[in-house]
């Protein structure tokens, strides 16, 4: 986060570097020498445009240290590439994993960069054969490409959707099984995972997590101790963000402070129970 962005938005994310890749995480930097709860996720966990993201709110409500390992634009594959981060999550009293989009995971049709999961690294011959009319070289972001594919042929895009879902389930299972502590799965969104109208590229951009539905969540439920579902009300969704006027439209794609607060309230009791049921 640049100094200019801090001045514009009024937010200081207090970023610090951590993990093998030395990526930037939102501060304040946690003390990992004692007992703590770890939180993994993407931009909603990091808390872009939020004064106090849900991990910080959870720490306040539980009066217990919480490490925010949310990473802007990260999918499951990002965390799988960092053994230092996985070890810190495994040492935690509990780990909360916020669900991220399926388009952020490499699959048999296209790959994303390991450390920048929003960016398109390449496409396979399989995808080129499925969409021979598409010039894939013009796309830098996976989501932009997916918008074009769905627009070109909704019928052929069903093949892409199936691959997105299968790859997401596989990577999420791998991630969950790599974290050796009790785990909670968090759904944080304006929409229910039962709402199939959100399973489109356009909705994936505006209403994350993209391309994830109830069936996919159910496929990984056995790998976690509990699942917490927060669907924001219209009031919470429309609550203010901390953003420069130039970023006002973009900021509405991210959770408001009200959403962060309500998600933390929903998490507090099950996480408290999880921490108590673990024996060291």
Q: pLDDT tens for residues 74-106?
A: 999 999 999 999 999 999 999 999 999 999 999
**CB-count exposure of residue 131 (10 Å: 0-12, 13-18, 19+):** buried
> What are the phi and psi torsion angles at 130 (to 5°)?
-70, -35
16-18 and 23-25 beta bridge pairing: antiparallel
Write down the domain spans for the chain. Answer: 3-277
- Determine contact, residues 178/82, Cβ cutoff 8 Å: no
- Determine contact, residues 168/175, Cβ cutoff 8 Å: no
**pTM of the entire structure?**
0.92
Whole-number Cα distances in Å, 271 to 4, 28, 36: 37, 21, 12
- Determine contact, residues 71/25, Cβ cutoff 8 Å: yes
What topology is assigned to 3-277 in CATH?
Answer: Rossmann fold (3.40.50)
pLDDT in tens, 32-76: 999 999 999 999 999 999 999 999 999 999 999 999 999 999 999
pLDDT in tens, 175-228: 999 999 999 999 999 999 999 877 888 888 888 899 999 999 999 999 999 999
**Helices marked H in 91-213 — which ranges?**
125-130, 142-152, 154-178, 201-206
Reported as a pLDDT band with limits 50, 70 and 90, residue 4 is: very low
């Amino acid at each position: 986060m640049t100094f200019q962005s801090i001045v514009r938005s009024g937010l200081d994310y207090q970023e610090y570097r951590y993990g093998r890749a030395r990526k930037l995480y939102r501060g304040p930097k946690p003390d990992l020498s004692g007992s703590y709860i770890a939180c993994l996720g993407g931009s909603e966990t990091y808390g872009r445009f939020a004064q106090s993201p849900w991990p910080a709110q959870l720490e306040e409500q539980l009066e217990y240290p919480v490490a925010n390992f949310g990473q802007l634009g990260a999918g499951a594959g990002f965390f799988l590439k960092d053994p230092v981060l996985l070890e810190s999550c495994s040492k935690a009293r509990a780990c909360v994993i916020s669900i991220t989009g399926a388009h952020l995971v490499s699959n048999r049709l296209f790959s994303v960069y390991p450390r920048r999961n929003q960016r398109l690294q390449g496409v396979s011959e399989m995808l080129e054969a499925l969409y021979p009319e598409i010039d894939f070289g013009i796309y830098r972001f996976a989501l932009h490409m997916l918008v074009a594919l769905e627009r070109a042929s909704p019928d052929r895009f069903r093949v892409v959707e199936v691959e997105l879902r299968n790859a997401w389930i596989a990577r999420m299972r791998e991630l969950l099984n790599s974290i050796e502590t009790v785990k909670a799965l968090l759904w944080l969104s304006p929409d229910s995972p039962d709402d199939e109208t959100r399973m489109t590229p356009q909705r994936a951009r505006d209403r994350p997590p993209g391309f994830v539905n109830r069936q996919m969540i159910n496929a990984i439920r056995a790998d976690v101790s509990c699942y917490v579902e927060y669907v924001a009300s219209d009031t919470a969704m429309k609550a203010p963000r901390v953003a420069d006027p130039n970023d006002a439209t973009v900021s509405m794609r991210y959770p408001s402070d009200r959403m962060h607060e309500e998600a933390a309230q929903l998490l507090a009791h099950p996480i408290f129970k999880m921490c108590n049921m673990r024996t060291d």
